[in-house]
Structure 1
Amino acid sequence: MGSSNETGKAPGYASTLPGFLGTVDTVISQVESVILAVGVILMAINTVANVVGRFVFQHSIFFTEELNRTLIVLITFAGIGYAARHGRHIRMSAIYDALPPKTRKILMIVIALVTATVMFALFYFSITYIMKVAKSGRILPAIQFPVYWIYLWVPVGFFVTGVQYALTAVKNVVQKDIYLSTHVLEGYEEDEIEI
């Protein structure tokens, strides 16, 4: 009952959803992976370049803080959908793990639906917030981009995460096993339970 890819394939992500939904899910997963990798690499390069500039050339890069802040928002909100897809969000499961399978399955469906609802609500509120920031006309002093550009990934991340949890609820309704995401079975890997 380990936490593994249902298809048993090697690294990479292949959606277990049927047809067009599976294709869209796989493309979104690949885009998220690229965004996360490029975002982390750019943040590291930007930070190292700033440190070198400050201590070797006695001049900091003037836009480092703003660029890193933008990248942190991008990585965070691209990452929440990625984590939901791979069943990697933090779970408090001591009581849940002690329940019988049928009760766990019902609870997993409820958890997924409630989480999806919260994500869609946050999606709505984040769009409202971005519109207010856009109307303010504020710009980043160093980069000279509108401040609301930083937050454009927030609603995208919430929406993708909401969709992932909604699909997880559906997967748990139609399958006999219990799923943490559309392709990750509940349970623990052997190395996760060793003491």
Structure 2
Amino acid sequence: MESRTALNVLRKIDDGLSVIERQLLGWSIIIMAVNTVANVIARLGFSSSLFFSEELNQFLIILVTFVGISEAARMGRHIRMSAFSDMLGPRASKVLMIIVSVGTATLLFTLAYYSIDYIAGLIKTNRLTPSLRIPMYFTVLVVPFGLTVTGIQFVLAALTNILKPGVHLSYRVEDIYEDDTLDTHL
């Protein structure tokens, strides 16, 4: 019972993170679009590009990538090779999903650790970005956050598979086998 309570607390925290992530993703994509259109207008209309445009879009792509992986994992939209697990029975498929979730979480937490080490090295260099002149480490601060939150998603998926019946891609999404028969009612 205590594990279910802990899982519910984690889910509530994750729900809050999901709202923040979706806002970050939405606004980043809007800013990228506006920035790109403004740069094209400046280039075509004034024969001069915005000096910061490419750099800003690079930062936003990093943000969208590393925040987006967490949202993808939360919604069970991560890339997976299901041919092997589809051949297994439900019990073996569930065990495989737990192993894959724990392994993926471990890898993501390890990468988050190394990304923090990388950022610490960037801080020591005092390097600035060429156009906007902001500290280089600032541009990649989202990387350990995204990796850690995505790792948490896979821990939640493993716990959900342990505590609930069925095979779950994430704590929100159950893997349901759909029969691929042809629809003859055309």
TM-score, length-normalised on structure 1? 0.87
Among candidates 75, 90, 100, match of residue 111 of structure 1:
100
User: Letter of the aligned partner of 1:43 in structure 2?
Assistant: M
CA distance in 1, matches of 2:115, 2:150: 14
CA distance in 1, matches of 2:30, 2:177: 30
User: Letter of the aligned partner of 1:124 in structure 2?
Assistant: Y
Partner of 1:51 in structure 2?
40
- Pair 1:103–1:189, CA change in 2 (3 A): closer
Partner of 1:82 in structure 2?
71
User: Letter of the aligned partner of 1:87 in structure 2?
Assistant: G
Shift, 1:133, TM fit:
1.0
Partner of 1:177 in structure 2?
166
User: Letter of the aligned partner of 2:55 in structure 1?
Assistant: E
Among candidates 162, 166, 183, match of residue 155 of structure 2:
166
Runs of 4+ in 1 over 4 A off after TM superposition: 192-195
- Pair 1:146–1:57, CA change in 2 (3 A): same
- Percent identity (aligned): 45
User: Letter of the aligned partner of 1:128 in structure 2?
Assistant: D
Cα deviation 1:93-130 (Å, max 9, x = unaligned): 11111110000000000000000000000010000001
Cα deviation 1:131-175 (Å, max 9, x = unaligned): 111111110121110011110000000000011101110110011
SS of equivalent to 2:171: coil
- Pair 1:167–1:145, CA change in 2 (3 A): same
CA distance in 2, matches of 1:176, 1:150: 42
1:18-167 to 2 correspondence within 5 Å? 18=8, 20-167=9-156
CA RMSD, 1 decimal:
1.7
Larger Rg: 2
User: Letter of the aligned partner of 1:150 in structure 2?
Assistant: T
Structure ranking higher on relative contact order (CA contacts 8 Å, 6+ apart): 1
CA distance in 2, matches of 1:146, 1:50: 23
Name stretches of at least 5 consecutive residues in structure 1 with no aligned partner: 1-16
Partner of 2:3 in structure 1?
none
- Pair 1:144–1:177, CA change in 2 (3 A): same
86-95 vs 100-109, greater mean Cα deviation: 86-95
Name stretches of at least 5 consecutive residues in structure 2 with no aligned partner: 1-6
CA distance in 2, matches of 1:184, 1:137: 44
The structure with the greater share of residues assigned to helix is: 2
CA distance in 2, matches of 1:135, 1:27: 33
